[in-house]
């Protein structure tokens, strides 16, 4: 076994899960995706240290770990934001002004889609469809859906959160 020069360690419980997973595959690296899930759960996001740790445990390279994690939307590379704001970018919402809404949100949250605000409080995301096309444009704030959103008049729940900063 190689020596662990990496300072970051999984908790005992997470390490047991990782070992259990690895035991199901002929090659350690085949457990990469489930191990990344455990890592994200344990460390909040996939930092460069997490990439190194996972690479070391699965006998692969950091670039392979990073490249695989980067391919999937479900892995984060930055600390989880306190609040998630999701806007729909699909056709019905687009035709009903979601672009203007997006511009306004970028300005108010001071971030870009796919990124967290500089204070780390808000993560702005785009979704393909939030299943409320007849109420377009729609957006979500922390899993609460807002319909027929007026770009110049953001939902009160969001403005309240913005005022708290």
> Interface with ligand FES includes 125 (CB under 6 A)?
no
* 138 vs 98: CA distance, rounded Å: 8
Q: Closest Cα to residue 122, out of 72, 158, 77, 69? A: 158
Shortest reach from residue 91's CB to ligand FES, in Å? 6
Torsion sign (Cα): 107, 108, 110, 113: negative
Site for ligand FES in 73-92 (CB under 6 A): 88, 90-92
| By CB under 6 A, residue 129 contacts ligand FES | yes
**Closer residue to ligand FES (CB): 128 or 156:** 128
Asked if residue 136 binds ligand FES (CB under 6 A), the reply is: yes
DSSP assignment of 119-139: TSSEEEEEES--S-GGG-S-E
Nearer to ligand FES, 8 or 133 (CB): 133
Q: Does 106 bind ligand FES (CB under 6 A)?
A: no
Q: Which is nearer to ligand FES, 49 or 95 (CB)?
A: 95
Helix or strand (DSSP H, E) at 23:
helix 12-23
Binding site for ligand FES (CB under 6 A): 88, 90-93, 129-133, 136, 138
């Amino acid at each position: 076994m190689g020596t662990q020069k990496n300072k970051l360690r999984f908790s005992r419980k997470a390490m047991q899960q990782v070992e259990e997973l690895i035991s199901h595959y002929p090659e350690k690296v085949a457990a990469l995706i489930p191990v990344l899930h455990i890592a994200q759960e344990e460390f909040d996001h996939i930092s460069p240290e997490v990439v190194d740790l996972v690479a070391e445990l699965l006998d692969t390279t950091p670039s392979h770990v990073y490249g695989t994690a980067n391919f999937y939307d479900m892995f984060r590379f930055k600390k989880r934001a306190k609040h998630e704001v999701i806007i729909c970018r699909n056709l019905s919402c687009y035709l009903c002004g979601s672009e203007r809404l997006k511009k306004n949100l970028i300005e108010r949250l001071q971030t870009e889609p796919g990124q967290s605000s500089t204070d780390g409080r808000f993560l702005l995301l785009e979704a393909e469809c939030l299943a409320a096309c007849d109420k377009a444009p729609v957006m979500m704030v922390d899993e609460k859906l807002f319909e027929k959103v007026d770009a110049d008049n953001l939902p009160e729940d969001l403005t309240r959160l913005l005022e708290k900063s």
